Structure 1
């Protein structure tokens, strides 16, 4: 069915009027949304100055509020392009240059290890801050820094993971610091600046920021929960992460924004400034501009968005003035309940690219099932051990038996370390990050990390408890 719809899109693009192509794209988007299991989604297709937007499903699972093209979604890291645009506006106003050291604008960073990092390096993720540093707010359960400037100072005191300018690594820390720069240079709060200098001039009426509550009518986020999705409307670090991932916007307004970025005109930014944002920022970032990922093979610029409960993808081909926006009010699961086909499939079909799907996804599915089966396995192993306690007691009498008693403890402690410390870093954060985005998978990891050494210790307790005399 998916390939047939793609054929219709291509055929409509070649021989049929625009409304036929639009209908074929909509049919594919509807099918992909149903297959994803997402409570709601919205998309928009941009061609020149025109755009077509649609919505599916509901703002919250079990609710009645329908998603429309004007429903605000959290767009996550697409926010970074707005932050980069704000920096470019200030550069064109003469308030800064993007090659300024950050310490020129943030006094809080003049005496720390990060003082020589340039704004260009922050914009292009070549500052040396790591992905893990950028996700550190997920780990802070206590008092958070009171302002963006204080957060920037804290990051500067930590220092970078790599020498600035030597490598590319995506990090929210870069854009958290840029938010502080915008506040310091403009004299207004980050949110006020973006509202007044970007949202208002472009008529992006749905654009807003969520801190303590989701705006009325906005899509509520959902997270994977054992094959399904469960509502999640907690904002945690949103204020401090506002400049890295805090914007809410509708598919229709985000399409308007992309159209402006591709119009070749001087409006909220000069035409030259827009073009500069969509060029490689440096030799260390050949595939990243200023707030945008770049694909030289297709001539496209794009950015994804991922926050707890929501995912988004915005893509544009400036030379053709074509673009696509896809917004989803859930995080995809690991192998199950994923939304990758919805986001990437709709994008590919709308831009006339072939898309064969994400495949069977047996790798992620196997990883998910392997972790989720560990806790019941160890519970059963504990029960089995109790039933065979006399055999376990007998293991104390020989070398091989002692090894079989003590080695599992070391092995299970190592497994717990891998589950709690190693695997989360592969996802770019800590176990708190996993629990935030994938609560079911994270709960399985924590449960397995606890039960694994408990099982090994239980066997040792059975082996070394004083044996009771057999009844007469």
Structure 2
């Protein structure tokens, strides 16, 4: 969800050559000196990979106002970058002969036998061509695998691409069933430990107080997220891995080294190619930008946004981890992710984009409740005029606002969150201030229209 942030617009990259490491770090610091205040980001960690060598850093605070510094060893919730780890684990099981990419789900999960999604293949899950929708994926949480198994995909499997957490929740269950280990134990033993990712874990419990705390937008400021955006159980396979920027440099170096190690170089390359005709811009756990000849994945958890990117033709890439969600047009962290991806590919970033559309929307829903409350007061003062209305035009002026505000309420509390691929309750986790304003606008709008109508009818004989 949440690709409205523009994180995937890599054509913003320009063409100057990558400077040497010392001047590169200075260039990144100069860029972040301007970008971080504009994004209202409490803290950030980054790493840049160049021909096997890497450079990393951190700045800002783990918790706003705490004075606790972010470093390149500070663990962050990776969000959906975790999907690339889950895909890597599946490829390990493929190489072990325990799984085939064209196996059906029901071959490994008994709960899917005889169910609508039984014939969906492992490859389709990895590439988001299973038919499960974004909304379906964001509606299921850990512990609901049987419920998911009984849900019909929104589209026929293999016919279209749509990003869905449901795919990776199922893959996590496959890993556990086939390996005989909990997802957490498998990832930490077979991927994190061999790579020396000492500040990384699944679910974030091992990070303790060292972990960066997420911050969500809050009426022009930032508010810490109490649970630090951690995921556990079945959700971990879709977005629950926690890692530091320095550890991610080790992971990206392995994925780009062209060597046989955790998996073969052949399978690494396969993960970075289009998975099928229905998935031209997504491989196995990675988005593909053919123009930049790069693969990448973004991550989004409550209060944290992340991006990892790799060149397919050079051993170059990087990661950026920010402990803040983008605001609606204000405090947009997505500009930092795009800018740091430019540095990762050896380019210089362009200035951040304009966000007039989302800014206008935010201001509108900020003002609407005030206007509707003022309208209620004016209706009371002008109640004699309302009661005097008659004829078709008079009744229309009384009844039409009821229907129009009901339609507005439906758009605000149902349609708009679903356009972002999530129900209202999930939308609140990432945009609490905007959610409150949408609900307030819906309630005061309908309340104004009904109050006006009742007021007009109550004085009639």
* TM-score between the two structures when normalised by the length of structure 2: 0.93
Q: Spell out, residue by residue over 1:220-266, the C-alpha distance to the aligned partner (whole angstroms, 9 max, x if none).
A: 01000112110012358643310000011000001110010001111
Worse-superposed segment, 323-332 or 22-31: 22-31
Other-structure match for 1:351: 345
Distance change (3 Å), C-alpha of 1:357 and 1:460: same
Unaligned stretches of 5+ residues in structure 2:
1-11
Distance change (3 Å), C-alpha of 1:21 and 1:211: closer
Distance change (3 Å), C-alpha of 1:171 and 1:12: closer
Q: Spell out, residue by residue over 1:185-210, the C-alpha distance to the aligned partner (whole angstroms, 9 max, x if none).
A: 00000010000000010001111133
CA shift, 1:85, in A, is: 0.2
Please give the alpha-carbon distance, in whole angstroms, between the structure 1 residues aligned to 2:410 and 2:230: 27
Please give the alpha-carbon distance, in whole angstroms, between the structure 1 residues aligned to 2:125 and 2:94: 15
SS in 2 for 1:240: helix
Are 1:124 and 1:285, in contact at CA under 8 Å, matched by a contact in 2?
yes
Please give the alpha-carbon distance, in whole angstroms, between the structure 1 residues aligned to 2:148 and 2:56: 40
SS in 1 for 2:198: coil
Unaligned stretches of 5+ residues in structure 1:
1-5, 138-143
Other-structure match for 1:176: 169
CA shift, 1:10, in A, is: 3.5
Please give the alpha-carbon distance, in whole angstroms, between the structure 1 residues aligned to 2:434 and 2:337: 22
SS in 2 for 1:161: coil
Alignment of 1:252-291 (within 5 A): 252-291=246-285
* Greater than 6 Å deviation, 4+ residue runs: 6-9, 211-214
Other-structure match for 2:58: 55
Worse-superposed segment, 309-318 or 231-240: 231-240
CA shift, 1:152, in A, is: 3.0
SS in 2 for 1:135: helix
Other-structure match for 2:139: 136
CA shift, 1:7, in A, is: 12
Please give the alpha-carbon distance, in whole angstroms, between the structure 2 residues aligned to 1:227 and 1:301: 34
Please give the alpha-carbon distance, in whole angstroms, between the structure 2 residues aligned to 1:305 and 1:54: 19
Confirm or deny that 1:401 pairs with 2:394: yes
1:429 to 409, 419, 422: 422
Please give the alpha-carbon distance, in whole angstroms, between the structure 1 residues aligned to 2:270 and 2:145: 26
2:74 to 71, 74, 86: 71
Please give the alpha-carbon distance, in whole angstroms, between the structure 1 residues aligned to 2:108 and 2:17: 54
Please give the alpha-carbon distance, in whole angstroms, between the structure 2 residues aligned to 1:111 and 1:295: 38
SS in 2 for 1:447: helix
CA shift, 1:350, in A, is: 3.7
Other-structure match for 1:443: 436
CA shift, 1:145, in A, is: 5.7
Other-structure match for 2:16: 10
Other-structure match for 1:140: none
CA shift, 1:295, in A, is: 1.2
Q: Spell out, residue by residue over 1:324-371, the C-alpha distance to the aligned partner (whole angstroms, 9 max, x if none).
A: 110000101010011112111121134233543342211111111112
Other-structure match for 1:3: none
Please give the alpha-carbon distance, in whole angstroms, between the structure 1 residues aligned to 2:376 and 2:13: 56
2:287 to 293, 305, 308: 293
Q: Spell out, residue by residue over 1:90-112, the C-alpha distance to the aligned partner (whole angstroms, 9 max, x if none).
A: 00001011110011000110110
Alignment of 1:101-120 (within 5 A): 101-120=104-123
Are 1:100 and 1:118, in contact at CA under 8 Å, matched by a contact in 2?
yes
Other-structure match for 1:199: 192
Structure with higher Rg: it is 1
Cα RMSD for the two superposed structures: 2.0
Are 1:33 and 1:56, in contact at CA under 8 Å, matched by a contact in 2?
no
Other-structure match for 1:30: 33
Worse-superposed segment, 278-287 or 353-362: 353-362
Distance change (3 Å), C-alpha of 1:145 and 1:302: closer
Distance change (3 Å), C-alpha of 1:43 and 1:261: same
Distance change (3 Å), C-alpha of 1:331 and 1:71: same
1:342 to 329, 336, 341: 336
Please give the alpha-carbon distance, in whole angstroms, between the structure 2 residues aligned to 1:11 and 1:182: 42
Q: How many residues align?
A: 449
Other-structure match for 2:382: 388
Please give the alpha-carbon distance, in whole angstroms, between the structure 1 residues aligned to 2:387 and 2:374: 19
Worse-superposed segment, 204-213 or 356-365: 204-213
